[in-house]
Amino acid sequence: MMSEQTSANEDPGLYAAEGYCVQRGLFSPAELAALRRSLERMIEELPADRRLESLVEPHIRAVDWRTWLELARDERLLDAAGGALGSSELLLLSTHLLVKQPRDGLALCWHQDNTYWPGVTGVDVCTIWLAIDDSDLGNGCMQVIPRTHSGYPELEMVATEGGDLLGVRVEVSPGMEADAVALELDAGDLSIHDSFVIHGSEENESSRRRAGLTLRYANAASVKVDLDKHRKPVYYVRGAGESLEMGQRDISAAKPLPEDPGVHRSRRFDSL
């Protein structure tokens, strides 16, 4: 994976054309410290040899799932996702803490996200990647190949040589790879990317941890989710309810969070 060091797009108005956008300085050091404490408590509970790149659905599975669910409906994140999708109604589909430990974090080969969500139909889905730690080329930050979402191509996946997180990748020509942009973020910055844009990241060869939280949001008006196939709660996080569907959990407009976190609470990270 290579990256010409073109600076990353920070203009939300170019999100649709470029397929991604960076926003800086949204969360304060105190907020980040609280998130890191929650993450570190999670890690302490896990077996020492458990890999940390797949801490999936902390808003459902973490002991303090409320922290992560509240974060997922933070107005700053909803503004970023709603702006990118051009949507006043948003669904939260999933979250994932992706922690690359120093000198150990795995690479994620070039991929598109849309192929990873059974039961989700529609193209208006984006991912917010919130930097919990500083993230740069040295510790394996995310890289995107701009504009590769154009026309929503569903690219074929092939097996990798192994040693990476996903085990599959899409074919990328040297010309495409030369266009890659590194999304170097300070803790508290975020990037947003389209569900079809090609992206990935290298191993963490540095002595610094690289933790990020992904949050997948969909336009509730145009994306349909089959709950049986999705197999976890879908949260309606913003809107006046026009597109709210049966079975979705409405936590928009500061409504109380549910008493229980959802079907997977009993399956803690260590069982995955």
Q: Which residues bind ligand AKG (CB under 6 A)?
A: 98, 108, 113, 127, 129, 142, 199, 201, 212, 214
Phi–psi pair at 200, nearest 5 degrees: 180, -175
Nearest-angstrom CA–CA distance, 16 and 38: 34
What distance lies between CA 8 and its chain's CA centroid?
18
Indicate left, alpha or beta for 147 from its phi (over 0: left) and psi (-120 to 50: alpha): left
Q: Which residues have C-beta within 8 Å of that of residue 66, sequence separation ≥ 6?
A: 257, 261
Q: How far is the CB of 107 from ligand AKG (least distance, A)?
A: 8
Q: How far is the CB of 140 from ligand AKG (least distance, A)?
A: 6
Nearest-angstrom CA–CA distance, 79 and 238: 10
Nearest-angstrom CA–CA distance, 140 and 210: 7
Find out whether 141 and 205 touch, Cβ atoms under 8 Å.
Answer: no
In the complex, residue closest to ligand AKG by CB: 201
| Closer residue to ligand AKG in complex, CB, 38/127 | 127
Q: How far is the CB of 240 from ligand AKG (least distance, A)?
A: 29
| Closer residue to ligand AKG in complex, CB, 39/98 | 98
What distance lies between CA 68 and its chain's CA centroid?
13
